[in-house]
Structures are given as C-alpha cells and as structure tokens.
Structure 1
Amino acid sequence: MKYIFFALTLIILTYCNNEQETSNCIDTEKIKLDQFCIEIYQPVCGCDLKTYSNTCFAQINGVIEWTSGKCEKN
C-alpha cells in the first residue's frame, strides 16, 4: 500500500511540474490572432508542446520559445 501511495504521489508531482513549465512559455501580451501568417509548412514545437505550422503561427499565439520540427507524441 505504501508503494502505491508513493507511486501516485510521484506521478502527481511530475504532472504538476510539467504543467508549470508549459504555462510559463506563453506571453499573453504577444498573442495577436488577427495578424496574418504565410502558409508555409515549416513545423516548430512550441514550449507548450504543441506543433505550429511555422514560427509565425507560434509567435502570434504568444509562444516565446520553440524548436524546429514537430513535437514528439508521448
């Protein structure tokens, strides 16, 4: 029983830590959904773990950090 409690606690703490990391990567002041982006597919993975079509789409959604390529599915 102790092991189950420990495992559940560890899972919850890990999830909470991930939630904090991704929530700090969006700057709400930079969200500009009315801005135009060219439809060129060069995917980037945002720090919120979402794949955007290109850097422009990441920027207008307020993402402040990203890496080249699609996000990996967990």
Structure 2
Amino acid sequence: MRKSPLILLLSSIFFLSSCEKEERLSGCIDPQRIRSGPCTFDYTPVRGCNGRTYPIACSPDLAGLKSWTAGACK
C-alpha cells in the first residue's frame, strides 16, 4: 500500500521534467527548415541542440535544428 504514493510522486516528477525538456526543445527545431536532401558520407559527428548525435552537420540542418556543436554526445 505504501508503494502507491511513491509511484505517484515519481510519475509526477517524470511528467514535469519531460514537459520542461519539451519546452526547451521547442526552440531547438524550426519546422519550416525541415527538408530532405543529400549529405556526404564523411563521418564527422555533431551534437544537436536536441541532445542527439548526428553523423555529419548536414543531418541536423536537414532535420530543422537551429544549432549544433562539433563532437558526439557523451
């Protein structure tokens, strides 16, 4: 019986933190910039503002991301 309040508390924290993360990401992607196109095959990983690693800078650009930095996510 005591597990119910703990589960409720943990679920609330999860949902609140996921909403905050989504708000932060909403400024990361510009839907008008999303398009398809070719990219080269050289592997120079970049980390997108959404926390994902992309194989090359062309990929987050086509995905509509507004910013990215050199290097893979850790």
TM-score range, shorter chain: 0.7 to 0.9
Matches within 5 A, 1:1-74: 4=6, 6-33=9-36, 35-72=37-74
Matched to 1:15, the amino acid is S
Task: Say which structure is richer in helix.
Answer: 2
TM-score (norm 1): 0.74
Task: Say which structure is richer in strand.
Answer: 1
* Aligned sequence identity (%): 31
CA distance in 2, matches of 1:9, 1:43: 35
Number of aligned pairs? 71
Asked which structure has the greater CA Rg, the reply is 2
Unpaired segments of 5 or more residues in structure 1? none
TM-score (norm 2): 0.74
